[in-house]
Amino acid sequence: MTVAAKSLVGTWKLISISRRDVATGVETDTWGPGTEGYITYGAEGRMMTLIVRGGRTGPQGKAAGHDEGAALFASMMSYGGTYRLEGERVVHTIDIAWNEAWKGTTQERFLVLDGNRVRLSTPPSPDPLDGVMSVRTITWEKLA
């Protein structure tokens, strides 16, 4: 296992999510305040992540109704699978996801390790939420 791979192994807490519009250069906080999340990389080559928007509310009853469940589903992102390092990139191969369209796909991220933080950035590509050509960057901090 390379030094970078050893450094990546563990659980990381979400610090920020941003998007830079390729055409305009405008950078925005795409998930808003209070967003929470974790990503875990195992030494065996498996990973999983869960991100939820801030401001979510629980269901009014013991279980979420149809509309409440749909709103909760729309305010999260989660997937798991394997990962491999390729130079300055980490490639996630997804075998389970909150969105079945992602199953069997790969997610390539440029990787920058900086002390106890890691930044994962997409290559310029259409944002899956609105199709805007952009670079999405997620910053994580390693848990002790």
Where do the domains of the chain lie?
3-142
131 sits in the region (left: phi over 0; alpha: psi -120 to 50; else beta) called left
- Report the amino acid identity of residue 142: K
Q: Is the pLDDT of residue 1 over 60?
A: no
Q: Output the pTM of the full model.
A: 0.88
Task: Give Cα separations from 112 to 15, 27, 97, 107 (angstroms).
Answer: 14, 19, 25, 16
Can you name the CATH fold of 3-142? Lipocalin (2.40.128)
Structure confidence by residue, pLDDT tens digits, 52-80: 999 887 777 788 877 887 887 788 999 99
Whole-number pLDDT of residue 125: 93
What whole-number distance in Å separates Cα of residue 48 and Cα of residue 42? 9
Asked whether the predicted pLDDT for residue 143 surpasses 80, the reply is: yes
- Residue-wise pLDDT tens digits, 101-124: 999 999 999 999 999 999 999 999
Return d(Cα 119, Cα 135) in angstroms, integer: 12
Could you tell me the pLDDT band of residue 2, with boundaries at 50, 70 and 90?
low
The amino acid at 15 = I
User: E strands along the chain, which residues?
Assistant: 10-21, 27-29, 36-41, 46-52, 76-86, 89-97, 106-114, 117-121, 125-126, 133-142
pLDDT at 5 over 80: no
Highest mean predicted confidence (pLDDT) among 14-18, 51-55, 97-101: 14-18
pLDDT number for residue 72:
79
